[in-house]
Amino acid sequence: MNQTLEEILNVEAAEGPFAPGDAVLEQTLRDFIQLQSNTIAIATDLVGVRSVPWLSFTWYTGVVGTFAYPLDDVAITDPTNIGTQNYSTKLEKGQGRCTFLDAVRLRGESFENIDRQQLGIVRARADTIDNHILTTLYGGADNSVTATAVFGDGSADEEGDILSAMDDIFANAKVSGNEPLALVLPADKRSAILNTTLYGNVVESLGDHLKRIANLSIY
């Protein structure tokens, strides 16, 4: 088989009864971009995400009811009224486009350029997902805890501030207090979370310390 690497990589789908050949490759590329961007996005680890076949959906959950205790051995209770709350979701369209000029193929750089532009769309989609989820979570928070100082400053008590915030979450949310939590930090705070300190008789980073004592995941 006397084919160059470029010829092997430059695959063209055959014409079929359902769509032109390029449509198959385009759909494969779209599926790959969606899968990759969901994988590298951070915020998809914070909230549950799933693929759905509908454009809009509303679901209901019970939030109020009564439960009688204790009861006599032969006694029964009247039916309880269950209060419900509903949540609605809808899908919104997003799009990422790129154009490959003839000059790209003439320079013999088609595969490299296509690959990198494709990764550019993947990164942009992941950033959009992260921004949307993190902005929504931040906007929906009803409580806040005042920090001792800006995270990473010399006078800041990062451990105490984070533990105080966790107490506030457990005091106001419908949780048992044993759930794991997640901390999302800007990239420029990495040194503060990796800085080692003596905790008790163990020298470890603040990040490892919080993971150990509070089951905290850090992003």
Identify whether the C-beta of residue 46 lies closer than 8 Å to the C-beta of residue 218: no
* Residues paired with 196 in a beta bridge: 205
Nearest Cα neighbor of 186 from 121, 139, 116, 138 is 138
Structural contact between residues 40 and 47, judged by C-beta atoms closer than 8 angstroms = no
Determine the pLDDT at residue 11.
57
Q: What is the mean pLDDT of the chain?
A: 84
DSSP H or E stretch at residue 218: strand 216-218
Phi, psi at residue 151, to the nearest 5°?
-55, 125
DSSP 46-85: TS-----S-SEEEEEEEEE-----S--TT---PPPPPEEE
Tell me what pLDDT residue 25 has: 73
The model's confidence at residue 17, banded by pLDDT at 50, 70 and 90, is: low
pLDDT in the model for residue 27: 80
Confidence at 90, pLDDT banded by 50, 70, 90: confident
Amino acid present at 56 = S
Tens digits of residue pLDDT in 101-146: 777 767 776 677 777 878 888 999 999 999 999 999 889 888 888 9
Burial class (CB in 10 A: 0-12, 13-18, 19+), 108: exposed
**What phi and psi, each to the nearest 5 degrees, are found at residue 59?**
-125, 155
- Any idea what the Cα angle at residue 158 is, between residues 203 and 126, rounded to 5°? 100
What pTM does this model have? 0.70
Give the chain's radius of gyration (CA, Å): 26
216 neighbors 210 (Cβ within 8 angstroms): yes
Tokens of residue 118, six digits: 């494709």
**What is the C-alpha separation between 179 and 170, in angstroms, rounded?**
9
Contact assessment for residue 163 and residue 80, using Cβ atoms and an 8 Å cutoff: no
